[in-house]
């Protein structure tokens, strides 16, 4: 008999939302709806939705395919077509899916893009990715150059540069692709809804400061950020989802309950951790179980900030629509310099009273991974806590070695337990 997977009601709601979105995409052509492909970090979802453009996020397709065990074949297909084994597997999964007929993760055919909105926040690979897709689809590409913030502070000059590009390049391109005029009032309304949902997301994420934490902010966190980081930001659906999620989490917190995992509820929170880096998607459940088995709960993570540092005060602002969209693009986690990333993780460790931190270094993502070993040592120095370093990949099943990952994690948890016992003995 297939084991039952524990799910929160909000997860079921989200599942329906995602399925609905893929169905909309599958039927976009027959309904005459235009489609824009774009990337998650620094996305301009409200702006696209204000033109009635239906967004597609290729990274989301890739990770959904990985969770459904489809990514290995797609990557192999891309490599057969000449793509190097060394490069980002999100890209190859997407290219492979395209080469194999562009059937989306839910089995419905993905529509070709009417426009590629290339806002390459925090990742150079995005640029190459859409250059590759552009070769295939031959559709218009709107490029938004989002400057990197090496000091971790969004500067006025960079914001002005992005705003001017939005006005002069992006909006005209979206007007042309959608056949609709820019409607700032509509955008403001959407941004109002975004801010409401963002408030609730922050409450959910910060609930992990409570002991025991009612959420897992990494494995569970990827579900919590899903709607807000993708196609639903700026919609009533997202507002409703986050209200329900918030109530659910607050309920668990009041009852003193731990997070829900696929294996059931965590009833004994042994370790509180901060995690840096994206999760592995091909063995997501197995990976999560390694933490669950040890009573390890992730109380804060950086991956849940790739689509915005809402917990540091950012909100989409209907009174400054383009300015706040620009600040959003500029302020996403991977667009910030390493010193700020180190500072943020150190703050999380302190604010969430973490026992330690884990860096999941993924082969595919230089933007995240390059420099993480230096970050590890710097965070250890600043916090006095030892960190764990594990290596996996995003969507390439060949790079997830369960035995190695488990051994490293188990050793780390043993070390944390011994340190705790030693401290108690003293």
Partner 1 sequence: MTTLEPLIERCRELVDDLELTSVKHWKAAHPRGIAIGYLPIYAPREIVHAAGGLPVGVVGAGEELEIVRGDACFQSYICHLPRSVIELALTGRLDVLEGMIFPSTCDVIRNLSGIWKLSFPGKWVHYLDLPQNFEPELGGVFYRRILLEMYSELCAFTGQQPDLERLRASIALFNENRRLVSQLYAARAAEPWKFGALESYLVLRAGLVLPVEEHSAILREYLAGCALRETRPLDNARIALRGAFCEQPPLALIQTLERAGCYVVEDDFLPMLRWPEGDVSEQGDPLGALVSAWLDTPCEAASRYVKDVDQKGCTLVASTRQTKAEGVIFATPSFCDPALLDRPMMQAALTKAGIAFTSFKYAENTGQMQPIREQAGTFADSIKLWGEA
Residues that bind partner 1 (CB under 8 A): 81-84, 86-88, 91, 120, 123-125, 127-129, 131-132, 134-135, 138, 141, 143, 145, 147-148, 150, 157-158, 161, 164-165, 168-169, 337-339, 341-342, 361, 363, 366-367, 369-375, 378, 391
Residue 265 to residue 245: CA distance in whole angstroms: 16
- 357-396: burial string, b at 16+ Cβ within 10 Å, e else: bbbbbbbbbebbbeebeebbebbeeebebebbbbbbbbbb
Q: Indicate the residue among 83 and 272 with the shorter CB distance to partner 1.
A: 83
Q: How far is the CB of 226 from partner 1 (least distance, A)?
A: 24
Closest distance to partner 1 from the beta carbon of 362 (Å): 9
DSSP-based three-state secondary structure for 273: strand
Number of H helices, E strands in the chain: 18, 10
d(CA 57, CA 55) in angstroms, rounded, equals 7
Query: What DSSP assignment string belongs to 207-272?
Result: GGGSSS-SS-TTTTHHHHHHHHHTTTTTSHHHHHHHHHHHHHHHHHHHTT---EETTEE-----EE
Residue number with CB closer to partner 1 (74 or 120): 120
Q: Which helix (DSSP H) or strand (DSSP E) does residue 35 occupy?
A: strand 35-37
- Cα of 275 vs its chain's centroid, Å: 13
Neighbouring CB atoms inside 10 A of 84's CB total: 9
Q: Which stretches does DSSP call E strand in 45-130?
A: 54-56, 115-119
Cis peptide before 344 (omega within 30 of 0): no
**CB closer to partner 1 out of 220 and 278:** 278
Closer to partner 1 by Cβ: residue 88 or 298: 88
Min separation Cβ 145 and partner 1, Å: 4
Q: CB 293 → partner 1: shortest distance, Å?
A: 26
Q: Which lies closer to partner 1 via its Cβ, residue 398 or residue 420?
A: 398
Q: Which is nearer to partner 1, 195 or 330 (CB)?
A: 330
Minimum Å distance from CB 301 to partner 1?
Answer: 19
Provide the minimum distance between the beta carbon of 277 and partner 1 in the complex, in angstroms, as a whole number. Answer: 11
> Residue 122 Cβ, how far from partner 1 at the closest point, in Å?
8
Residue 300 near residue 274, CB atoms below 8 Å? yes
Q: Which C-beta is closer to partner 1: that of 386 or that of 417?
A: 386
Asked if 359 contacts 391 with a C-beta cutoff of 8 angstroms, the reply is no
Q: Looking at beta carbons only, is 199 or 366 nearer to partner 1? A: 366
C-beta of 211: minimal distance to partner 1 in Å? 32
Q: Alpha carbon 289 to chain centroid distance? A: 20
């Amino acid at each position: 008999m297939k084991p039952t997977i524990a799910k929160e009601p909000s997860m079921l709601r989200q599942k329906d939302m995602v399925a609905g979105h893929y169905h909309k995409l599958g039927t976009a052509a027959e309904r005459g709806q235009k489609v824009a492909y774009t990337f998650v970090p620094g996305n301009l979802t409200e702006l696209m939705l204000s033109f009635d453009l239906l967004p597609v996020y290729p990274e989301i397709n890739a990770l959904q395919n990985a969770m459904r065990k489809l990514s290995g074949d797609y990557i192999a297909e891309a490599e057969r077509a000449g793509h190097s084994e060394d490069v980002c597997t999100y890209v190859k999964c997407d290219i492979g899916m395209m080469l194999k007929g562009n059937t989306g993760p839910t089995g419905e055919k993905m529509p070709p893009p009417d426009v590629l909105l290339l806002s390459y926040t925090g990742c150079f690979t995005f640029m190459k990715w859409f250059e590759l897709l552009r070769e295939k689809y031959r559709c218009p590409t709107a490029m938004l150059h989002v400057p990197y913030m090496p000091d971790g502070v969004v500067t006025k000059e960079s914001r002005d540069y992005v705003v001017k590009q939005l006005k002069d390049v992006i909006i005209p391109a979206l007007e042309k692709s959608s056949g609709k005029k820019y409607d700032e009032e509509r955008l403001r309304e959407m941004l109002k809804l975004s801010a409401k949902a963002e408030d609730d997301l922050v409450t959910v994420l910060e609930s992990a400061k409570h002991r025991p934490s009612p959420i897992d902010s990494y494995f569970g966190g990827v579900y919590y950020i899903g709607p807000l980081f993708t196609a639903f930001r700026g919609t009533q659906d997202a507002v409703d989802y986050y209200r329900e999620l918030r109530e659910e989490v607050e309920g668990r917190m009041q009852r003193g309950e731990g997070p829900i995992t696929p294996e059931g509820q965590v009833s004994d929170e042994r370790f509180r951790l901060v995690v840096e880096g994206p999760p592995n998607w091909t063995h997501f459940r197995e990976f999560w179980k390694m933490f669950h088995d040890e009573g390890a709960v992730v109380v804060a993570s950086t991956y849940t900030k790739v689509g915005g540092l809402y917990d540091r005060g950012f909100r989409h602002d209907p009174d400054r629509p383009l300015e706040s969209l620009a600040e959003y693009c500029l302020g996403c986690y991977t667009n910030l310099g390493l010193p700020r990333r180190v500072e943020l993780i150190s703050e999380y460790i302190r604010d969430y009273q973490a026992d330690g931190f884990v860096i999941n270094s993924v082969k595919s993502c230089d933007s995240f991974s390059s420099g993480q070993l230096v970050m590890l040592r710097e965070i250890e120095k600043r916090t006095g806590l030892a960190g764990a370093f594990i290596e996996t990949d995003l969507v390439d099943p060949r790079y997830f070695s369960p035995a190695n990952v488990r051994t490293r994690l188990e050793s780390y948890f043993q070390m944390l337990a011994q340190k705790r016992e030693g401290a108690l003995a003293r």
